Amino acid sequence: MAQRAPEEQDKTSGRPRDRSIGEAAISATLEILETDGYFAVSVEAVARRAGTSRPAIYRRWSGRASLALAAVAARLDVPDSPDTGCTLCDLGDSFALFLAAYRTIRPDALSALYAECASDPDLRERYLDTVVAPVRCAVAQTLDRAVARGDLRPETDRGLLLDMVGSLVYYRAMLGQEHLSNDEAVHAIRILLQGAARDYGALLAHSEAMEHAHLHASTESG
């Protein structure tokens, strides 16, 4: 899960802040990111759209990058990866969950945000924690379960496979004109697993059997 940025928390031991102000600021930031892109985000623009003041924003966030990180974290707070017992199904469902969240943020906004965070060690770490870690964590859980079931070869380089799978999302999310589609994600996952699976044909057959059973159950219930 994405963690709330430090700037959202109280910086002093004074009275609790009005949570509605922070929520309005996050909502306003997301709206600006979606309609106008990252460089249109400013403390002044967010304060005006949120119906608050610049000092109120600065009491919660140090500037544009921190504010945008908090907004992206709120948008990317997605469920944990599924555990159906089917490696292909779980990876596909995990990607569907995260891609749905990523598609709500413009690729150019993510890349511009990273460019501003890259030179600041603290902001860069928080960017990685917000944008990269959630996907990597969910995929790691799925891969670990696959290894435990014996679906993947024991000598599989887990870290390298994580990098390869994660990069499918990150590259298109930050540098592409469009986000990765569901069909592209499924195709890429199958290509990668053909090299890591003990028996890819068995994985595919298991996935197809589960899908057939699900469709059959849906038809009967309908």
Q: Could you tell me the pLDDT band of residue 222, with boundaries at 50, 70 and 90?
A: low
Same domain, 93 and 191: yes
Given a cut of 60, whether residue 3 has pLDDT beyond it is no
Query: Which CATH number goes with the domain that contains 45?
Result: 1.10.357.10
Last residue of a domain, one of 19, 51, 73: 73
For CA atoms 215, 212, 180, 71, give the dihedral sign. positive
- Give the pTM: 0.73
Which one has a higher pLDDT value, 10 or 211?
A: 211
Same domain, 204 and 103: yes
Same domain, 58 and 94: no
Rounded Cα distance, 122 and 136, in Å:
20
Mean pLDDT of the chain: 83
| Domain contains 108 | yes
Same domain, 21 and 84: no
Rounded to an integer, the average pLDDT of 132-149 is 85
Last residue of a domain, one of 24, 43, 73: 73
Q: Could you tell me the pLDDT band of residue 30, with boundaries at 50, 70 and 90?
A: very high
Contact 59, 17 (CB under 8 A): yes
Same domain, 18 and 94: no
The contacts of residue 8 (CB under 8 Å, 6+ apart) are: 22, 60, 61, 70
Same domain, 190 and 89: yes
| Domain contains 133 | yes
| Domain contains 63 | yes
- 133-149 helix and 158-175 helix, angle to the nearest 10 degrees: 150
Same domain, 140 and 193: yes
Which one has a higher pLDDT value, 222 or 182?
A: 182
Rounded to an integer, the average pLDDT of 119-148 is 88
Lowest mean pLDDT among 10-14, 69-73, 144-148, 184-188: 10-14
Given a cut of 70, whether residue 9 has pLDDT beyond it is no
Q: Which domain holds residue 43?
A: 6-73
| Domain contains 85 | yes
| pLDDT tens sequence across 142-187 | 888 888 889 988 888 888 888 887 777 777 777 766 777 878 888 8
| Domain contains 93 | yes
Query: What's the total number of domains in the chain?
Result: 2
Q: Could you tell me the pLDDT band of residue 1, with boundaries at 50, 70 and 90?
A: very low
The contacts of residue 105 (CB under 8 Å, 6+ apart) are: 33, 34, 72, 75, 76, 173
- 43-50 helix and 19-36 helix, angle to the nearest 10 degrees: 120
| pLDDT tens sequence across 37-55 | 999 999 999 999 999 999 9
Same domain, 116 and 42: no
Q: What is the DSSP letter of 4?
A: P
Predicted pLDDT of residue 17: 59
Percentage of the chain exceeding pLDDT 70: 89
Rounded to an integer, the average pLDDT of 104-132 is 92
